[in-house]
Structure 1
């Protein structure tokens, strides 16, 4: 039975008449699985049916991607089967004013001993989770967190809990001022910001109203491109919905897209609100608009607007007959109509969750768009998104607005501050960058820092303060700096990355500091060597693909040599330089420091895999790395083709570097050379790969170049070609017959799989592969090299 005092403390804010002023609360239910579930049932048994409860982490519970745009009163995180920081952040972002979060977890004192990281690379072990240990320490030291276990129930003091406790080092969420100033300046130009009487009823804050007015004014000036960013719970979707409603009244045709349709329910709700005149009926309308309306069908054609699947007849009847008819509909990101359709306005909701190629394609297809994305989002780094996309927006003159005033919870909400201090994922205090400095002033700040660095003597340690070690050894201040820099520098950095970095024994962090300011950082993965000894043969022939060791595995697969996996590698996974100091050679010097440390640690080679671009190719070349492999397909998230570079450190790796260079030279050749004419090193490896393909360990996409060379050899020697009266006749997949037509197709790069499937009279890629294995086996046996 839940202690009455606990339920009173937990739920009283929800039932309070002043709920909109109450902080949200956190209860930790700690203990054995059965006890925790029983206790949770007891706690939730007496709540009002009107309250909304959402759960995550349990079997059959919601996936976190389905929580975007949702709201609830009580959120529950189940952690006995594994803890996921992204789940915690996701559910916390849905909880309304005065609501509560319940974290169900194992016994706190031993939780870190029971956690087995799912992201461990092959051959590495971890008996505990430093991340969980840090999490538990934060929870225990927070005076505003209630903890209930089988032996004790700690309930925060009701008076103390209503006062912000600075000793917990909770950092208030601050606005993203360089962007937010665009909104603030417009707000000052139209009304006094602190005068709540000037706020129109459909808006929940003066900031939201000012942003709407700014957006509308820009649209009237034919500047019809905008980007809206905000942390969760700031009314971003509501703002977009109200703006769409204003365009519908102008008779415009609007298309809306998002990764998941249900996540736009709040946006569509506010489209409905926006078409009504602000009056007392608005609250009634809003209260009746629920997620259940997702199933409401119908399109209104005689009213001011038509919102597909969302607009009811009752709402449409309130539109003025004199207004033009507009329409709004949701389309999936892969719907061709989204590109080919005739629309006046494109809305992209939660853009940071989109793959960059898709996002760029959508933007290029529309003259008028409003893009919105969440900052501090579990689905990806909003800051990283802006780093990658902002130049394109700026080039098009897009308006950039930001919302900072929380509307789903109170300002300086204790739960939000706690979550951000746990996850260290954006929104934390700026320890090491100049986000609060106007853009025009940053140039001066940057030059001042550079002059200061240049003034320091080479022997001054503070100017070359490089550090290397485990992430878990960092102080809280250093952790804040590192995670903020990584989130700002990389697209789709998630809170889960922090836990992986903190817990993984095979990850090393290298940083450069200037006093307390972080200048640059690099994440290094330790790969190869003894951890791969038991699977090196399988990696080399393509039959095994153990977890982790991305660089070591790729090199071993390239060379088809198990010995390649035995070398020790450091793979530079991520490298980031503070934005205001980029282009000054700091990244190059950091890599040079890593090179020296690798030499001291008897590492054989440095590697890195990255999305290829002229800028990055030049950077790694300047650092002394050699390009040894290019991926075949662009990465779905970034749209870039992955490149692999290597730098030899030890003498014993020298021959391997030569082999890799020979293979890469062959892969980049435009002419197809018969296999017998290739250098001995390249020829032997290609034949080895072909035999592995025939033996069904190596897939087809990894032997296409080898097949090209073999087909060229057979075409020249004609030793196994069976000339027939009808050479264009399809080969029978069950025979060893190889016709000139087949050889012609096998000589093309890339392999024309559709034509090969038709020629061999097979159905599907699997059948094609099986047929080709027989053909290649016969061709190999028929040539003499």
Structure 2
């Protein structure tokens, strides 16, 4: 078979079935050039080939429909970009992957190379001949393609989604819709079409929220197609009748609570469930969409958790599943190949019980040869964390500074801890980082501690950062996370590492876990994460004798946190502030005069404005003395934190805690102090 016959056979099969085939092309520059001349792809993505689109520009192609592509991955590639651009290719086309024939030493690429010969892939080699996909080379029966599109240009599934979203607006309150689909099923398009129809027919305001504005671009584009409107900027569109379509980031949405007639939550799987819970509380008409599999989503585990939440909060909610692909036919070979190569559909298995748990370091060379354990490991990470991406698979296999600890029950993986080695740089380089002259790749915790506190030793010494602890949901709260962490600490101490640390979006439950393990706060990030709405907290623990810089970092954190409470952290959850303050060292004792002022306020003899300083010092001292965990039910404590330390206004405080005004709120504070002074 000639190369031309090879290409023609693949193209004919793709056109007939309205599917896409992955085609791997290996050879020298002349061979690759000749092959591309025959294939004539509409677009070549490469950082090396002349006239090609560089990989850095791939994002501008998203949302477009493309013909056949050639993707040059001989110098490496970004998995997310590869998956995203592949999703733009319509059925009846081919995706050519330009690959090298040499055997890579990196585990990720050794595994990836095996997928050149996947059952759904074609392979052309200058030296190794040609292989066709199994469905073409065998006598396997493939059904003829039958269109599922309606007269409106949507699939039947999309039409059902549009109808469900419109029903949310005109039906009973608190009956949200959940649109569930794999990538490429047109759920964002359906949300946009529904928004456009709603806004064109009546004067309404529709808000869109998503982890980033880029996620919502497809929605915006489809909302504007058949409408008389103007895209004011990338965050807003105004219709001729006065209707508005606006994008609001999740954290801003929950903080400002702007009014709307309908809230659309696109890519809900990439937003933490607690934030979705707050949205359900604050808005009565909502439609959610979520990717079941793919690099935006977190698999079916998210859907199960979220469905449980909907059952609790909105009994009449409706689910619409989109199965029909928009750009290609069902059982698309490229899609199947992507799912297998990058573990998009990895779902965890569960042992019958966890009566015996053993923890050991996972050998990555052995993992490379054990696809079932690799799938189990990746599925656990995806299930437990909302921001796992296929690029994490590359790091998992290839990052030599990473150690993987696995918790096994009867030989089956049920939990994992990822530990990253950081620091260990020479003094000159560390000093340049602290001075702002250099920026290091990676070393998230060590670099942050050094640059934000001026502590050079945080970069010259070696520390271990726990980047992830993940346990199968069914077996959480059984001490498996603690077992994993204790094992990692033991290994680190044996290797002479003096400090373990972590960095995470802080919530009360995560704070309680890490503080219970002996970790102390070192830095709280000022900016909230737009998707999670949380501040990043860095915590550290000395494994033997604390290094000289350890106490300095803790002291800096404490002094800054006290001052930041009324400004940078004035919007922090008062309960979380109380928990963080309870871990602080107790400040200098209050004077007798200060204690007397607090008592006089509690009895009503002195007004609040006359005792603010004494109240502030007393409250911080009281929190630091608490030996038992402060509970969410202690509303008086949270009221005190919000007013005395966050300095929120009386109106805001009264509204938040359900009091009539300042007088009523102040009385509640007096009563709480009288009980605890």
- TM above 0.5, yes or no, is yes
Q: Of 93, 99, 104, which aligns to 2:93?
A: 99
Q: Determine the C-alpha separation between the residues in 2 that align with 1:251 and 1:373.
A: 27
Equivalences, count: 545
- Counterpart in 2 of 1:681? none
Q: Determine the C-alpha separation between the residues in 2 that align with 1:10 and 1:136.
A: 21
Q: Of 72, 76, 80, which aligns to 1:82?
A: 76
Q: Determine the C-alpha separation between the residues in 1 that align with 2:215 and 2:534.
A: 30
- Counterpart in 2 of 1:498? 393
The equivalences for 1:389-400 within 5 A come to 396-397=313-314, 399=317
* Structure 2 residue 569 is the aligned partner of structure 1 residue 575: no
- Counterpart in 1 of 2:25? 29
The equivalences for 1:116-195 within 5 A come to 128-139=105-116, 141-156=117-132, 161=137
Q: Determine the C-alpha separation between the residues in 1 that align with 2:470 and 2:318.
A: 25
- Counterpart in 1 of 2:341? 422
Structure 2 vs 1, CA of residues 30 and 488 (structure 1 numbering), >3 Å: closer, same or farther?
A: same
- Counterpart in 1 of 2:263? 346
Q: Of 473, 480, 484, which aligns to 1:590?
A: 484
**Higher gyration radius (CA):** 1
Q: Of 283, 286, 289, which aligns to 1:372?
A: 289
Structure 1 spans left out of the alignment, 5+ residues: 46-51, 113-127, 166-195, 272-292, 301-306, 311-324, 434-444, 455-462, 673-748, 751-785
Q: Determine the C-alpha separation between the residues in 2 that align with 1:547 and 1:242.
A: 42
Q: Of 619, 636, 647, which aligns to 2:530?
A: 636
Q: Deviations over 1:714-739 (max 9, x none)?
A: xxxxxxxxxxxxxxxxxxxxxxxxxx
Q: Is the 8 A contact 2:499 2:540 kept in 1?
A: yes
Q: Deviations over 1:62-88 (max 9, x none)?
A: 845445544334233222443121122
The equivalences for 1:567-716 within 5 A come to 567-651=461-545, 653-670=546-563
Q: Of 99, 103, 108, which aligns to 2:101?
A: 108
- Counterpart in 2 of 1:236? 187
TM-score normalized with structure 2 length: 0.68
- Counterpart in 2 of 1:220? 171
Q: Determine the C-alpha separation between the residues in 1 that align with 2:30 and 2:440.
A: 35
- Counterpart in 1 of 2:414? 519
* Structure 2 residue 371 is the aligned partner of structure 1 residue 467: no
Q: Determine the C-alpha separation between the residues in 2 that align with 1:560 and 1:251.
A: 57
Q: Determine the C-alpha separation between the residues in 2 that align with 1:539 and 1:99.
A: 49
Q: Determine the C-alpha separation between the residues in 1 that align with 2:468 and 2:343.
A: 18
- Counterpart in 2 of 1:476? 371
Q: Determine the C-alpha separation between the residues in 2 that align with 1:262 and 1:80.
A: 29
Q: Is the partner of 2:102 in helix, strand or coil?
A: helix
Deviation at 1:351, TM superposition (A): 4.9
Single out whichever of 587-596 and 342-351 deviates more from structure 2. 342-351
Q: Is the 8 A contact 2:348 2:376 kept in 1?
A: yes
Deviation at 1:591, TM superposition (A): 1.0
Q: Determine the C-alpha separation between the residues in 1 that align with 2:477 and 2:420.
A: 25
Q: Is the 8 A contact 1:33 1:80 kept in 2?
A: no
Structure 2 vs 1, CA of residues 68 and 360 (structure 1 numbering), >3 Å: closer, same or farther?
A: farther
Q: Determine the C-alpha separation between the residues in 2 that align with 1:34 and 1:358.
A: 54
Structure 2 spans left out of the alignment, 5+ residues: 231-235, 566-644, 647-677
- Counterpart in 2 of 1:453? 354
Q: Determine the C-alpha separation between the residues in 2 that align with 1:545 and 1:261.
A: 27
Q: Is the 8 A contact 1:229 1:373 kept in 2?
A: yes
Structure 2 vs 1, CA of residues 327 and 554 (structure 1 numbering), >3 Å: closer, same or farther?
A: closer
Q: Determine the C-alpha separation between the residues in 2 that align with 1:664 and 1:241.
A: 45
Structure 2 vs 1, CA of residues 559 and 387 (structure 1 numbering), >3 Å: closer, same or farther?
A: farther
Q: Determine the C-alpha separation between the residues in 1 that align with 2:483 and 2:60.
A: 43
Deviation at 1:26, TM superposition (A): 1.3
Q: Deviations over 1:619-661 (max 9, x none)?
A: 011112122222222233422111121121133x354433433
Deviation at 1:560, TM superposition (A): 3.5
Q: Determine the C-alpha separation between the residues in 2 that align with 1:374 and 1:404.
A: 10
Q: Is the 8 A contact 1:231 1:403 kept in 2?
A: no
Q: Is the partner of 2:417 in helix, strand or coil?
A: strand
Q: Determine the C-alpha separation between the residues in 2 that align with 1:640 and 1:261.
A: 20
TM-score normalized with structure 1 length: 0.59
The equivalences for 1:197-346 within 5 A come to 220-237=171-188, 239-240=190-191, 243-244=194-195, 247=198, 251=202, 253=204, 255=206, 257=208, 259=212, 298-299=228-229, 330-333=245-248, 343-346=260-263
- Counterpart in 2 of 1:403? 321
Q: Is the 8 A contact 2:270 2:386 kept in 1?
A: no
Q: Is the partner of 2:488 in helix, strand or coil?
A: helix
Q: Deviations over 1:549-588 (max 9, x none)?
A: 2222234346644334333221100111111222222212
Q: Is the 8 A contact 1:14 1:73 kept in 2?
A: no
Q: Determine the C-alpha separation between the residues in 1 that align with 2:196 and 2:457.
A: 64
Aligned-residue Cα RMSD (Å) equals 4.5
Structure 2 vs 1, CA of residues 53 and 535 (structure 1 numbering), >3 Å: closer, same or farther?
A: closer
Deviation at 1:415, TM superposition (A): 2.0
